[in-house]
Amino acid sequence: MSNLKIYNTLAREKQSFKPIDAGKVRMYVCGMTVYDYCHVGHGRMLMAFDVIYRWLKASGYDVRYARNITDIDDKIIKRAVENNETIGQLTGRFIKYMEEDCAALGILEPTDVPKATQYVPQMLGIIEKLEAKDLAYKAADGDVNYAVRQFEGYGKLSGKSLDDLRAGERVDVNTGKRDPLDFVLWKSAKESEPEEVKWDSKWGKGRPGWHIECSAMSCALLGETFDIHGGGADLQFPHHENEIAQSEGASGKTLANYWIHNGFVRVDGEKMSKSLGNFFTIREVLKQFDAEVVRFFILRAHYRSPLNYSDVHLDDARGALNRLYTALDGVEGDGQPLDWNEDNAKRFAEAMDDDFNTPIAVSVLFDLASEINKTKSPVAVRQLKGLAAVLGLLERSPEEYRKAAPQGAAGEGMDEAAIEAAIATRAAAKKSRDFATADKVRADLLAAGIVLEDKPDGTTNWRRA
């Protein structure tokens, strides 16, 4: 297996990775709440754990990867009521959109994609255990709450002290709570809510709180203790802290041995989020940029570092990806499988084993591209394509990449036959020394998003801008 080291948020340091069961990894990641389109910040989270999943598999591990779907919560209910549709109609539509976005970005399907609504019995089972241990209580308003101060380890993930957590900062002040820090496990049903969000329980009709959903799904699928738990940095507190309190309070066992959190996407120095209104959906971005460019843009930053979103940075990523594809143009590999004992592969593996350091791994790809440009080495071609594929890159031919268009891009409506016909018209005009027509054809193609690549013997290639 590998020499992998992971930055463990719980320990606040890089640690050597040792799975519970040799050769096997169980990983749970908090996924999407499906009431709206995924934005680039969500894409960053999905991509971070896709790369981790890919590297664990490339390292020889048998990986069971669960990434949940939250298909019941306050925002979902509110949006469905506003739209005058059922919860299932709303969530079904946005699950489909999420799957389309993931497919476009080359994100592999996890082994398990549980929906919260499928695990309500397991949630109720955990709450009953907590109540039996005096870690949960039914309040006067009908909600069942978690008694935070009764759990000795609360705050160990986020490093927050109970005394520092004042009411109103991070938790809703609720008169039904014994302590303002307590959080809801089971929400008592309200008359105004749709019937489809009301489940029977020993405490009366209601629905689960957000935090208990992930405790139930992760433990049901991966066991009461598993290897890796992940999600965005914004989930560290209170969501993941509350998951630990619930799961470990009920089982008496460690929930996860390694906690991984990806950094934020920022726009003008602020976190990209729906609440700030500064988000760009994945679908919007894919209308302007090829999906592989977006993937490459995200991979060039370390998963824990902030990622600054702008068209300028995406344009730069497109230019860099162009250089990799250009190096492969017209040069074939030697047909052999990737050899991890070769120097470049070793450097790539060392980078990925160092807390999934994709920026260094990508630099190895550029070193190989430079070597190909100089020597046309079939071995270097094989290494470049093989290592890039581990990251989900360079899996098209250079020609396919060149001629692909983002949805809604300027050149998308112009088919290849029309482009080739225009190139032929320009060649004929140049041959007859009608340079004005030749220049106009080139300018018209450029206006349509088509860039010609000329050499002394004529136009050799074209690509979409």
- 38 is an annotated ligand-binding site residue: no
CB atoms within 10 A of CB 351: 18
For residues 293 and 4, give the distance between their C-alpha atoms in angstroms, rounded to a whole number: 28
User: What confidence score (pLDDT) does residue 459 get?
Assistant: 62
For residues 77 and 58, give the distance between their C-alpha atoms in angstroms, rounded to a whole number: 41
CB atoms within 10 A of CB 73: 19
**Angle (deg, nearest 10), helices 311-328 and 378-390:** 140
- 211 is an annotated ligand-binding site residue: no
Phi, psi of 163 (to 5 degrees): -70, -25
User: What confidence score (pLDDT) does residue 320 get?
Assistant: 97
User: In terms of DSSP H, where are the helices of 287-342?
Assistant: 291-299, 311-328
Q: For the chain (length 465 residues), average pLDDT per consecutive 10? A: 91 98 98 96 97 98 98 94 96 98 97 98 98 97 96 93 64 70 95 93 96 98 98 96 98 98 90 80 94 97 96 95 96 94 97 98 98 97 98 95 69 64 72 72 70 66 66
User: What confidence score (pLDDT) does residue 171 get?
Assistant: 46
For residues 262 and 307, give the distance between their C-alpha atoms in angstroms, rounded to a whole number: 10
H/E stretch holding 461 reads: strand 458-464
User: What confidence score (pLDDT) does residue 369 get?
Assistant: 98
For residues 155 and 158, give the distance between their C-alpha atoms in angstroms, rounded to a whole number: 5
With contact defined as beta carbons under 8 Å apart, do 284 and 267 qualify?
no
Phi, psi of 129 (to 5 degrees): -65, -40
Please name the residues in contact with 125: beta carbons below 8 A apart, sequence gap of 6 or more: 216
Environment class of 105 (CB within 10 Å of its CB; exposed 0-12, middle 13-18, buried 19+): buried
With contact defined as beta carbons under 8 Å apart, do 226 and 218 qualify?
yes
User: What confidence score (pLDDT) does residue 432 get?
Assistant: 78
Of 397, 391, 169, 197, the residue nearest 298 (C-alpha): 391
For residues 261 and 52, give the distance between their C-alpha atoms in angstroms, rounded to a whole number: 12
Domains, the chain, ranges and CATH? 5-262 (3.40.50.620), 267-403 (1.20.120.640), 416-464 (no CATH)
The amino acid sitting at 284 is E
User: What confidence score (pLDDT) does residue 221 get?
Assistant: 98
Secondary structure letter of residue 30 according to DSSP: E
Q: Provide the CA 87 distance to its chain's centre, in angstroms.
A: 24
Strand extents, DSSP E, 220-325: 226-232, 256-262, 265-267, 270-271, 307-308
With contact defined as beta carbons under 8 Å apart, do 71 and 65 qualify?
no
- 138 is an annotated ligand-binding site residue: no
User: What confidence score (pLDDT) does residue 465 get?
Assistant: 61
Residue with tokens 């014994």: 178
- 219 is an annotated ligand-binding site residue: no
The DSSP bridge pattern shows strands 144-146 and 136-138 to be antiparallel
User: What confidence score (pLDDT) does residue 173 get?
Assistant: 52
User: What confidence score (pLDDT) does residue 175 get?
Assistant: 63
For residues 366 and 251, give the distance between their C-alpha atoms in angstroms, rounded to a whole number: 49
The amino acid sitting at 426 is R
CB atoms within 10 A of CB 378: 15
pTM, whole model, 2 decimals?
0.87
